[in-house]
Amino acid sequence: ISICRDLPNIEVITFSVNGISDLEPLNQCQNLSELYLRKNNIASLNELFYLKNLPRLRVLWLSENPCCGSDPHRYRMTVLRNLPSLQKLDNQAVTEEELSQALVDGEEITAPPPRRSVENGCPESTESSAAESTTETESELLNFSLEETNKIREELGMRPVPRDKFSSFSPRETDCNRKKRNNVLNAILLLMKELDAEGLEIVQQTVGRRLQAFRKKELQEE
């Protein structure tokens, strides 16, 4: 979802079933009119804070997220109080009566949800995240990262990284770097759709030069 920071003119976003928990990257998408976020990990309705200044947002699908809670009426009223320009919420049309009732029954959101502190772009470990990672040992994480890295290097025509060189990275750091790389790759692939033939040729030439530089560096290190 972080790619949305670089897409201020996007009009329709479909991110259903994507494990998304943070809507902050959307607050600059001033042309956004439809947003589909069904079945994600949005824990707090305070995330709506980032959508309140999107003037063209008319359709929002937020159901089946933890933030919906156990009280459907309170959930819907809170969403409509903070996003009164919506015409459809969770595939159900918004009525004038609901908008009026939302001023009474809905909760006004005035601040974003608190964030965990971050270091170098990777969230710090918490007890909950530690509990979730108990199914994978540090050794398993390292083996997975090493295997993935060497697979990519093989596809690029490069030699695999020996384990003794790779082990200097901590599993958490490697996992964080992998997520950053995947975000960059997703952004590049999405933006490439906007390029014409001439633009794609420039990208191809640039990638070719970068690969040659990497291979030259590898040969020097060996």
User: For the chain, which domains are there?
Assistant: 2-105 (3.80.10.10)
Residue 202's pLDDT band (cuts 50, 70, 90): confident
Q: In the block, which residue shows the tokens 């008319």?
A: 58
Q: Is the pLDDT of residue 45 over 90?
A: yes
Residue 16's pLDDT band (cuts 50, 70, 90): confident
d(CA 174, CA 168): 10
Residue 128's pLDDT band (cuts 50, 70, 90): very low
> According to the model, what pLDDT value does residue 7 have?
84
pTM of the model: 0.54
Residue 210's pLDDT band (cuts 50, 70, 90): confident
Q: Is the pLDDT of residue 115 over 90?
A: no
Tokens of 100: 């009026």
When comparing pLDDT for 152 and 51, which is higher? 51
Residue 86, Ramachandran bin (φ over 0: left; ψ between -120 and 50: alpha; else beta): beta
Crossing angle, helix 72-82 and helix 96-105, to 10 degrees? 100
d(CA 45, CA 142): 36
Q: Is the pLDDT of residue 126 over 80?
A: no
pLDDT in tens, 132-179: 444 444 454 445 445 655 555 565 566 665 665 444 344 444 456 666
d(CA 105, CA 76): 9
